[in-house]
Chains A and B, each alone.
Chain A
Amino acid sequence: MLRRFRLEEPESVAEAAELLGRFGESAKVYAGGTELLLAMKEGLVQYERLINVKKLTGLSDVTSADGAFVIGALCTHHQLENSPVLKDKLPALTKLEQNVANVRVRQVGTIGGNLCFAEPHADPGTLLIALGAKMIAEKASSKREIAAEDFFVDAYETALQADEVLTKIHIPVPVPNARSAYLKFGYLERPSVGVAVAFNLNGGVSGVKIAVGCAGPAPRRVAEAEALLEGKSKDEALRHVAEAGASAGRAAQAISDLHGSQEYKEHIVGVLLKRAFQSALS
């Protein structure tokens, strides 16, 4: 049984932001509810009001504009997994979405909700960082862009202000020789380690982006590991990928817990980076 709350159903982003500003911590944005309702059922959080954002229009599509894919925050994982637009140009993302949780969570869970709840053991954030995505945060009369690599501040904490609503995610359309891959590992319900890699392949590898998630409190980009592969030829990069993996492992801020010891997680980061890199190359 959940504790009683009032349901608010704003019809515009401005209205939603105004409600958030007015009610502060006693209100929470509610979309698919796949994370929020669990926390509420556990009694870990309590709200006087839930702000149902599913009546907001224009936030449930995948389109492209100005060289970027624009993903509405209300798109469900199921929608993204099956998006023909994304399947063609960003197969790493559709594969990731296809493997989020289970079929029921994918059916109602939204990408926006996933990113904003910022549960450490989640997938999309990690790949979005490697793809150079940008989150669009809106208030009543303002809009701003937050780079994915700056979006995740800590466990369950994003860079969003209290009255901001995440509306869109922009992903630059990959150039023809762009490659990317995301691999995850886990044996519990949620993933324990996730690694994303993206780069351009033209003789050598350039524009390398590496991100590690799930092992630490928030997904993060690992510049130290990127530097070890940047500008190298394909073969040279493959020779350095183990070193890059070790560097990424250390940067993962892993902590020993039920998902594994710190050393184990760091090791798995290395393994996944190597495999993701090889997968992206092939």
Chain B
Amino acid sequence: MQFQKEVEILAPREKVWEFIWDVDRFIACVPGCKEAKTIDPGKRYAATMVEKVGPFKVEFPTTIEVLEREELTRIKAQATGADNKIGSRMKLDLDVHLREDGDKTILGFVAGVDILGKLAALGHGIIKRKADQVLDEFAQAVKTKLEGDG
């Protein structure tokens, strides 16, 4: 599943870039994400993703690897996780872009999400919708956090 999101943030690029690497504040923007840990600063992080669709709940202990980094411009990362209780695996390929637009920053990302295993039994439509929702909420949360903090 592919998703593309873009959000306009009323904050300078440097501030947005700084925010992304502030793991705790950043992770707080991902709905359902908790217990963020830095394993290798700038390279490896861990977190737990908890998502719910009606009565179906998944908990993915997730590892996030930063694959590429272009200062103030781009991040390529991959997150993988497995929920052994339900027997499902998750893989997220994330390409984040930052660009300046006057005094605004355009934060864009392209996300490739793969869900394997039992959870897929819920149906592609449900999962796609949920993933879309999570990514939307995430983008909005980043914007709100950055604009609100002044």
Please give the residue numbers on chain A whose beta carbons come within 8 Å of chain B beta carbons, in ascending order: 28, 39, 42-46, 118, 120, 154-157, 217, 255-259
A216 to B: closest C-beta gap in Å: 8
User: Which of B51-59, B98-106, B139-147 makes up part of the contact surface?
Assistant: B51-59
A118 contact from B54, B87, B125, Cβ within 8 A: B54
Q: Is B119 interfacial (CB-CB < 8 Å)?
A: yes
Whether the pair A44, B121 counts as a contact (CB closer than 8 A) is yes
* Interface hits, B47-79 → A, CB 8 Å: 53-57
Please give the residue numbers on chain B whose beta carbons come within 8 Å of chain A beta carbons, in ascending order: 53-57, 85-87, 118-119, 121-126, 128-129
Q: Which residues of the partner chain A approach B129 to less than 8 Å between Cβ atoms?
A: 155, 217, 255
A45 contact from B56, B124, B125, B128, Cβ within 8 A: B56
Q: Which residues of the partner chain A approach B123 to less than 8 Å between Cβ atoms?
A: 120, 257-258
Instruction: Given A44-B86, A217-B126, A258-B124, decide whether A155 and B53 contact each other with a Cβ distance below 8 A.
Output: yes
Instruction: Given A255-B128, A255-B129, decide whether A44 and B119 contact each other with a Cβ distance below 8 A.
Output: yes
Whether the pair A42, B53 counts as a contact (CB closer than 8 A) is no
A39 contact from B55, B85, B128, Cβ within 8 A: B55
Whether the pair B121, A42 counts as a contact (CB closer than 8 A) is yes
Sort A-B residue pairs by CB-CB distance and give the 3 closest, nearest first. A156-B54, A255-B125, A257-B124
Whether the pair A154, B54 counts as a contact (CB closer than 8 A) is yes
A156 contact from B56, B121, B124, B128, Cβ within 8 A: B56
> With A and B bound together, what is the CA distance between A221 and B119 in angstroms?
29
> With A and B bound together, what is the CA distance between A155 and B55 in angstroms?
10
13 contacts between A and B (CB under 8 A): A44-B86, A44-B119, A46-B85, A156-B55, A156-B126, A157-B54, A217-B125, A217-B126, A255-B124, A255-B129, A256-B125, A257-B128, A258-B124
Whether the pair A43, B118 counts as a contact (CB closer than 8 A) is yes
> With A and B bound together, what is the CA distance between A39 and B119 in angstroms?
11
Q: Which residues of the partner chain B approach A39 to less than 8 Å between Cβ atoms?
A: 55-56
Q: Which residues of the partner chain B approach A155 to less than 8 Å between Cβ atoms?
A: 53-54, 126, 129
Tell me which of B85, B121, B125 has the highest count of chain A C-beta atoms within 10 A of its own C-beta. B125
> With A and B bound together, what is the CA distance between A46 and B83 in angstroms?
14
Instruction: Given A43-B86, A43-B87, A44-B119, decide whether A257 and B53 contact each other with a Cβ distance below 8 A.
Output: no
